[in-house]
Amino acid sequence: MDDHGGQDDLTASMVLMQQQMQEMQQTIDTEEAARQAAAELAAQQVYGTECHAFHISQLGMLQDYQS
């Protein structure tokens, strides 16, 4: 008996599985990149807000000093 057809089926299944795993990894990588970008944006916004608040408080102290 020739098991060539069974080997072809197994090979095709392995190729399909590998493609699915690559797609899953790409999805994971994309989601991780999106999470990192969101975290960086949030950090920039918080840092920018803190810097802005600091400058406003410094300006207020300067105005108090000049009064």
Phi, psi (rounded to 5 degrees) for 11 = -60, -45
Q: What pLDDT digit, counting tens, does each position of 52-66 carry? A: 566 556 556 555 555
In which residue ranges of the chain is pLDDT below 70? 1-3, 46-67
pTM: predicted TM-score of the whole model, two decimal places: 0.58
Whole-number pLDDT of residue 22: 98
Helix locations, the chain, DSSP H: 4-66
Name the residue with tokens 């960086």: 40
Domains in the chain: boundaries: 25-67
Whole-number pLDDT of residue 16: 97
End-to-end CA distance of the chain: 102
Whole-number pLDDT of residue 1: 46
Phi, psi (rounded to 5 degrees) for 9 = -65, -45
- On the CB side of 45, how many CA atoms lie within 13 Å of its CA? 6
Separation CA 15–CA 11 (nearest Å): 6
